[in-house]
Structure 1
Amino acid sequence: MELTRVAVGSGSCTVRIDGPVSKHAVLLLPGKGDPVDLYDDVCERLHHSDLRTVAVESIENLDETSAVVLLDELNIAWVNLVGHREGADLAWLLAARQFGRFASLIAVDRGHPSASDIAGVPPVEVPTTVVVGSGGRAIADASGRFVYSDFRVTELPGVDDVVKSAPAELATEIVLRTSPW
């Protein structure tokens, strides 16, 4: 695994880059306070599917502009977005406002912000999957009206934290979204 520190905005961001060199990359955004190794199990599975992973250790210094700067600095022009909780909020925003930069969106444990009556985030126009554990189905379903592309909801009953408790299922959803078929 390659640890890289990139200057973004007024701070810096550490990312963990790993996996085969491939034209398919996945940007993984954690929630606030998530441990740095949150996506390790997911990444290991994604590497077996020929996907390069860029796991952000903390979204503390990231916003829409600095996330694009991060991708530019890493020379990643086209990427699949994955976000967990607050990282998913940022992923929704990026997918909505940076058209042509992102191939797909997988939002984990978080629906579209406008489905929760948070104004200001436009609809997205990329294939989108919302993966939720117990109790998250209603907001996930409500997100569908803010996705102008293929939309899927995956509910994992009995799971409280999808990334920690169901990495295989999450990796499967990511692989499905990154496949052109």
Structure 2
Amino acid sequence: MNSRRIAVGDRSWTVRVDGPESRHTVLLLPDAGDPVDIYDAVCARLHNSELRTVAVESIAGLDAAGVVAILDELNVPWANVAGRGAGATLAWQVAAGTMGRFVSLVVADRGHPAVPDAAGTVVDAACRPVELPTTVLVTKALPVAVAEASARCVYGEFRTVTVDASNVVTEAGNELATEIVLRTSLW
């Protein structure tokens, strides 16, 4: 994968960009502490499906405005967004606040930030609903009830998929890639 350092204000992030030139780009946001190559196997599957990928190596200090600036720098007018863990929370937030920039949302391990998690904690009560087709992957880290409660914060087609994994990227990357491919298809 081709690494590229992108500066946004006084911060910078490294992204790994690869795949065929396509009208479909998938933005992948990792969990905090994930290794930089966490999405490499998933990206290979997405490339086989004619999808271009932009995998952020670390989301430390990254916010929704930074995500949009990264896409602007890469000349990506709109993207499908997927994330896991803290990257899923950021994916929810960026999809909720950037109308028309994202086409679909696939998240694992986290429900919508305005919905109480398993411990009853609301991460971001001000997070608006998303207006995108959305898939939530229910994993060992995300109870079904939290995933299903997220449906009230999605104004679009919503589905949950249960995956028996702690880390969906490393343990069930094929299922994650399949869900992303399904969301990029307009059928």
Please say whether Structure 1 and Structure 2 have the same fold, judged by a TM-score greater than 0.5: yes
Q: Taking structure 2 as the reference length, what is the TM-score of the superposition?
A: 0.93
Between the aligned partners of 1:132 and 1:138, the Cα distance in structure 2 is: 9
Instruction: Provide the residue aligned with 2:83 in structure 1.
Output: 83
1:73-105 deviation line (CA, Å, top 9, x unaligned): 000011000011111111101111100000000
Say yes or no: does 1:127 pair with 2:99.
no
1:37-92 deviation line (CA, Å, top 9, x unaligned): 11111101000000000000001131111111111000001100001111111110
Q: Which runs of 5+ in 1 are unaligned?
A: none
Between the aligned partners of 1:63 and 1:142, the Cα distance in structure 2 is: 24
Instruction: Provide the residue aligned with 2:48 in structure 1.
Output: 48
Between the aligned partners of 1:150 and 1:82, the Cα distance in structure 2 is: 16
Say yes or no: does 1:164 pair with 2:164.
no
SS in 1 for 2:28: strand
1:8 touches 1:67 (CA, 8 Å); kept in 2? Answer: no
Say yes or no: does 1:138 pair with 2:145.
yes
Say yes or no: does 1:152 pair with 2:159.
yes
- Write out the 4+ residue segments of structure 1 that deviate beyond 6 Å after TM superposition: none
Instruction: Provide the residue aligned with 1:60 in structure 2.
Output: 60
Say yes or no: does 1:179 pair with 2:185.
yes
Instruction: Provide the residue aligned with 2:119 in structure 1.
Output: none
- Identical pairs, percent: 57
| Aligned residue identity for 1:61 | G
Q: Taking structure 1 as the reference length, what is the TM-score of the superposition?
A: 0.96
Between the aligned partners of 1:44 and 1:132, the Cα distance in structure 2 is: 23
| Aligned residue identity for 2:156 | S
Shift of 1:8: 1.5
Between the aligned partners of 2:138 and 2:23, the Cα distance in structure 1 is: 28
Measured on the aligned residues, the alpha-carbon RMSD in Å equals: 1.0
Matched length: 180
